[in-house]
Amino acid sequence: MSHIIESSGLIRAVRFGPFEADLQSGELRKRGLKLKLEGKPFQILALLLERAGEVVTRRELRDKLWAPDTYVVFDRNVNTAVNKLRQALGDSADSPRFVETLARRGYRFIAPVEMPSKAHVPLSQPAESIHSIAVLPFLNASGDPAMEYLSDGITESLINSLSQLPDLRVMARSTVFRYKGRENDPQRVGRELGSHAVITGRVAQPGDNLTVATELVDVATGWRLWGEQYTRKPSAAFTVEEEISRDISSKLKLRLTHQVEERLAKRNPENVDAYREYLKGRYHFNRMTAEGLEKAFAHFEKAIESDPQYALAYTGLADCQGMHAFFSLRPPRQVMPKAKEAALKALDIDETLAEAHASLAGVLKTYDWDWQAAEKEYLRALELNPSYATAHRWYAAYLTAMGRHEEALREMERAQELDPLSLAISMEMAWDFYIAREYERCIEQSLKTLEMEPAFAAAFSSLGLGYEQTHQYAEAISALEKSRDGSGGNPVSLASLAHTLALAGRKREARKILGELKELSQRAYVAPYMFALVHAGLGEKNRALDWLEKAVDERDAYAVWIKREPRFDGLRSSPRFDDLLRRLRLPP
């Protein structure tokens, strides 16, 4: 009895082990990925599958699959075809799992086979229980490293587009990009991430065309639920992720509201040059280096030159300006007003852009100190895109600064659900525990982050803070030295190390670092907050308060933490400290 679906007009298919053979299209897939197996090898597989468990003689193979005029070379040809079949299946003639050889007789398919439980349901029909998806980094199959921005960009754009779909949880970029450059088994990755389905893809540009091939794989079974190849002119590249999003929503039976359809349409520009420059900008921005930010900024500006109505490019500009302040690369007064202007311009073009609301909220929080307006913008961003992990993370930082620690923890947990492999989220959860004065949990979370990435400088920083507050000074100094070395002597790491050295009684070493910070400030911007930390550790209260007043005057990005920062506890009895809090307009 045949195990193949024979119903007229439907896909005839069979599954065995991790493989799926579609006998109508002549395709063999392993865990959703198409294998190269054509011609006689596939025809032999099909015949063996139709007679699974039975012996198919060599004579039957000859009569069914070979023309009479080729009989003379049949023995050599069939041996070659069977060998190719075994190579595709990873099978062995000596220890077969799938195709058994019976000497001088023929072959038998010995593995269990499976077919869909309902013969009237096409094989590509997806399960209705899929409510979470991970988009693995698309492979740059062009062979040209300069095209890497395009494969990465399409991946990120697809993540953002799918995040707009109702009732679908989409893994965030920073988690899935930890799988970039690996040979990934979609089913294994999906299980690691707790996703119901995984999307894989590749991008190539043969000749004058852009080709994007993508597949949706069911994590529970490993089977391919859907796949498509999109061939477009490069000038239409920005429409591909929108088409993929629509096709996947259709396969998953997700009904798009009119508002969601409008948001998907608004995300893309009319100009391919603008789209290309935007993707390059995000590619460099995600490197999170000073050089990367400068290159990103230039690409975002070029995107806007090509299309002045491209809202996403303005959010890129806003994020670049904000990061310059956060990394102490530029004085806040020089960059934050420009960040706000760019975010507002993006919202003027498209009020439904979640990224723009989150970017604006960051300026309102760290520069304007308009706490009520900042929270309103964070909530609007999350209303528009509940799967936006970065917005959950930034909102958690806001709640922590407000002292609303239980709410902050819930937001961070939600961010981790969406982005479980994000180092930034894991580290910032440790920082939130530190600000909430839960120092043991800060240490524990920092160590968890270092398990993910043993050389992550920021995690050593939070680990050192936890140790310092529990008076484990030797351990704190060791961790903070690793943070300093791993960050290339970043002012944040230098100030934290100096503060701890001072508390440990090693004040001469602390003053030496203070001198390094002063020397560095002659060449580059150093946030006043850092000088305040060192003087607070040295017990020089008035000097620490002088620097905190300067931090408030300059709208230092770190000033939002003044009220909650444990390292400033020795300053709180001063009326000058109360005045600082009034100027920050922080709620009680």
Q: What is the pLDDT of residue 1?
A: 36
Query: Does residue 269 have a pLDDT over 70?
Result: no
Burial 178-194 (b: 16+ CB within 10 A, else e): bbbeeebbbbebbebbe
Most confident of 73-82, 218-227, 285-294: 73-82
Is the CA virtual torsion 489, 491, 492, 498 positive or negative? Answer: positive
The proportion of the chain whose per-residue pLDDT surpasses 90, expressed as a percent, equals 43
Mapped onto helix, strand or coil, the DSSP state of residue 387 is coil
> Which residues pair with residue 506 across a beta bridge?
none
Mapped onto helix, strand or coil, the DSSP state of residue 198 is strand
Rg (CA), the chain: 29
Q: What is the pLDDT of residue 9?
A: 38
Tokens standing for residue 510: 């602390």
| Structure confidence by residue, pLDDT tens digits, 32-58 | 667 888 788 898 998 898 888 899 998
> What gap in Å lies between CA 172 and CA 156, rounded to an integer?
9
Distances (CA, A) of 257 to 246, 249, 263: 12, 11, 10
Q: For the CA atoms of 266, 268, 274, 275, what is the dihedral angle to 10 degrees?
A: 160
Do 283 and 140 touch, CB atoms closer than 8 A?
A: no
For the residues 560-583, what does the mean pLDDT come to? Answer: 95
| Structure confidence by residue, pLDDT tens digits, 505-547 | 999 999 999 999 999 999 889 999 999 999 999 999 999 999 9
Average per-residue pLDDT for the chain: 85
For the residues 263-289, what does the mean pLDDT come to? Answer: 72
> Which position has the higher pLDDT, 13 or 258?
13
Confidence band of 121 (pLDDT split at 50, 70, 90):
very low
Q: What is the pLDDT of residue 5?
A: 37
Query: Does residue 180 have a pLDDT over 70?
Result: yes
Confidence band of 11 (pLDDT split at 50, 70, 90):
very low
Query: Does residue 435 have a pLDDT over 70?
Result: yes
Report all structural domains of the chain as residue ranges with CATH numbers, in order of start.
13-109 (1.10.10.10), 132-268 (3.40.50.10610), 269-386 (1.25.40.10)
Least confident of 56-70, 426-440, 520-534: 56-70
| Structure confidence by residue, pLDDT tens digits, 330-346 | 889 999 999 999 999 99
For the residues 249-277, what does the mean pLDDT come to? Answer: 65
Distances (CA, A) of 543 to 536, 548, 571: 8, 9, 11
Secondary structure of 524-555 in HEC code, one letter for each residue: CCCCHHHHHHHHHHCCCHHHHHHHHHHHHHCC
Q: What is the pLDDT of residue 50?
A: 85
Most confident of 1-15, 58-72, 108-122, 311-325: 311-325
Distances (CA, A) of 375 to 16, 119, 399, 458: 53, 53, 9, 26
Query: Does residue 258 have a pLDDT over 90?
Result: no
For the residues 377-388, what does the mean pLDDT come to? Answer: 92
> If residue 446 lies in a helix (H) or strand (E), which one and from where to where?
helix 439-452
Do 108 and 54 touch, CB atoms closer than 8 A?
A: yes
For the residues 144-154, what does the mean pLDDT come to? Answer: 78
> What gap in Å lies between CA 363 and CA 567, rounded to an integer?
25
Query: Does residue 288 have a pLDDT over 70?
Result: no
Query: Does residue 426 have a pLDDT over 60?
Result: yes
Q: What is the pLDDT of residue 266?
A: 58
Least confident of 236-240, 505-509, 559-563: 236-240
> Which residues pair with residue 216 across a beta bridge?
199, 226
> If residue 283 lies in a helix (H) or strand (E), which one and from where to where?
helix 272-285
For the residues 142-154, what does the mean pLDDT come to? Answer: 78
Q: Which of 252, 321, 236 is nearest to 285 (CA)?
A: 321
Burial 238-267 (b: 16+ CB within 10 A, else e): bebbbbbbbbbbebbebebeeebeebbebb
